[in-house]
């Protein structure tokens, strides 16, 4: 059972990317510019002209991003929530207007009066961190400092709640609709990010053009950013104040982040690593019965060492010692067909003190002096022999009855 565990350790140490190579952020991002422009791919742009850059947080009564949008020739106060993942939506996925949230909307409070997010989406930092699955946890390399995590929360609030974020969608509705049609017609059921190996940008499937609803689209658009094809949730180069990016970098300089520092590549690496770990666990569980394997997987155990340890405990239940069988038959521990009984049996198997106590109780019931471990009287010995003989006769009769059936 040791080889799979060693293989797992080797995998974690030698992984070339993802959470196998966690580094201090100051080593991944030399400055705030790299942090803002790299961590979320190219969703944001480091803007040195402070009047032309958005902020991810504010404490003023009015949203300062309204003036920034107006100065850039955009709608100052957008009336639709255009990022469709967790943003508010109307019937059948139609765009919805931002709206006020209730008194309990505190985590992302700057947007309370005009939010594209529902309170349930942003109730706590943990809820935001876990909203997109384990692939995208910001603390995969370990807990972040409070100062650093606060910036991740602010970015998450802006993405989920800001109406302005939707003004920087990477793809138009037309491109999204055309991509869906392309997938159906060209037989490309998955985005490149979930295709192994990744197709190259010059792959034949992305050459030429594709016509949808009278409009010609270059198929290269459907390659997307090399990971995801056209969608309604990705952003592209929203300008963020340089001062904000620099403050983010300062707060998180000594905190750890994964791989190359790109959330999307880290997510892919995480999935790849998890698949490898799961394969090792499957190999480690192979010697055990299907029933045991199913119980281990049902418990959500992925690490191979933990899986083997659990399998060994379950195996011990399948090969219950004679003393425990007798104790169960006598009613001194519960029947084995309940979760409580299994838990009790595991405790007895693993706890020598509890086991000794039970054995002493059994011996006392059978007429033994639990201190001297000898029968109390000759009559007790006879009674014990009679009891054992009765049990054997009863077992023989039961066996004969089964054969007759």
Domain boundaries, the chain: 1-22+277-319, 23-169+233-257, 173-223
SS (H, E, C) 76-87: CCCCCECCCCCC
Per-residue pLDDT at 165 exceeds 50: yes
Omega before residue 147 within 30° of 0, cis: no
How do residues 212-271 score in pLDDT, each as one tens digit? Answer: 999 999 998 988 776 778 999 999 999 999 999 999 999 999 999 987 888 877 877 777
pLDDT, average across residues 49-58 = 97
- Helix, strand, coil: what percent of the chain each, to 5? 55, 10, 35
Is pLDDT above 60 for 333? no
Which of 371, 368, 353, 365 minimizes the C-alpha distance to 327? 365
Alpha carbons 31 and 212: distance in angstroms, whole number? 43
Tokens found for residue 28: 């991944």
- Provide the mean pLDDT of the chain: 79
Round to whole Å and give the CA distance between 200 and 346.
53
> Distances from the Cα of 231 to the Cαs of 193, 227, 355, in angstroms?
13, 11, 61
Residue 256 backbone class (left: φ over 0; alpha: ψ -120 to 50; beta: rest): beta
Per residue in 82-119, pLDDT (tens digit) is 998 889 998 888 899 999 999 999 999 999 999 999 99
The confidence band for 395, taking pLDDT boundaries of 50, 70 and 90, is: low
Q: CA 261 to CA 246: how far, in whole Å?
A: 16
Among all chains, which residue has been given the structure tokens 């935001």?
Answer: 128
Q: How far apart are CA 192 and CA 229, in angstroms?
A: 7
Q: Choose among 198, 197, 223: nearest CA to 210.
A: 223
| CA 178 – CA 223 distance, rounded (Å) | 12
What is the pLDDT, as a whole number, of residue 251?
98
Cβ(141)–Cβ(22) below 8 Å: yes
Report the distance separating Cα 78 and Cα 162, nearest Å: 9
Contact 66, 289 (CB under 8 A): no
Confidence at residue 190, expressed as pLDDT on a 0 to 100 scale: 62
- Which one, of 307, 308, 238, lies nearest residue 44 by Cα? 238
pTM beyond 0.85: the answer is: no
7 DSSP 8-state letter? H
């Amino acid at each position: 059972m040791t080889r799979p565990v060693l293989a797992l350790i080797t995998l974690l140490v030698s992984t070339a990317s993802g959470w196998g190579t966690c580094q201090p952020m100051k080593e991944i991002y030399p400055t705030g510019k790299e942090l803002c422009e790299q961590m979320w791919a190219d969703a944001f742009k480091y803007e040195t002209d402070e009047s032309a850059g958005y902020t991810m947080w504010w404490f003023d009564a009015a949203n300062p991003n309204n003036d920034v949008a107006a100065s850039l020739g955009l709608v100052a106060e957008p009336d639709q929530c255009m990022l469709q993942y967790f943003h508010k939506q109307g019937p059948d996925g139609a765009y919805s207007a931002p709206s006020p949230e209730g008194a309990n909307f505190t985590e992302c409070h700057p947007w309370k009066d005009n939010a594209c997010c529902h309170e349930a989406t942003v109730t706590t930092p943990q809820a935001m961190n876990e909203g997109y699955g384990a692939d995208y946890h910001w603390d995969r390399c370990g807990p972040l400092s409070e100062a650093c995590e606060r910036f991740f929360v602010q970015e998450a609030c802006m993405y989920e709640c800001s109406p302005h974020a939707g003004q920087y969608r990477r793809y138009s509705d037309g491109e999204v609709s055309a991509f869906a049609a392309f997938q159906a017609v060209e037989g490309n059921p998955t985005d490149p990010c979930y295709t192994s190996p990744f197709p190259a940008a010059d792959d034949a499937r992305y050459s030429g053009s594709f016509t949808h609803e009278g409009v010609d689209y270059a198929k290269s658009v459907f390659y997307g950013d090399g990971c995801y094809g056209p969608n309604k949730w990705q952003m592209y180069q929203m300008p963020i104040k340089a001062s904000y990016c620099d403050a983010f970098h300062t707060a998180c300089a000594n905190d750890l982040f994964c791989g190359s520092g790109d959330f999307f590549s880290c997510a892919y690496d995480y999935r790849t690593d998890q698949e490898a770990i799961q394969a090792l666990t499957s190999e480690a569980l192979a010697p055990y019965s299907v029933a045991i394997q199913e119980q281990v997987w049902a418990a959500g155990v992925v690490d191979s060492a933990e899986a083997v340890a659990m399998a060994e405990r379950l195996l011990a239940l399948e090969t219950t010692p004679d003393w425990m069988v007798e104790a169960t038959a006598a009613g001194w521990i519960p029947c084995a067909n309940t979760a409580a009984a299994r838990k009790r049996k595991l405790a007895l198997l693993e706890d020598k003190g509890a086991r000794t106590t039970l054995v002493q109780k059994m011996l006392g019931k059978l007429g033994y002096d639990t201190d001297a471990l000898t029968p109390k009287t000759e009559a007790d010995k006879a009674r014990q022999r009679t009891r054992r003989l009765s049990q054997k006769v009863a077992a023989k009769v039961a066996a004969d009855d089964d054969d007759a059936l």
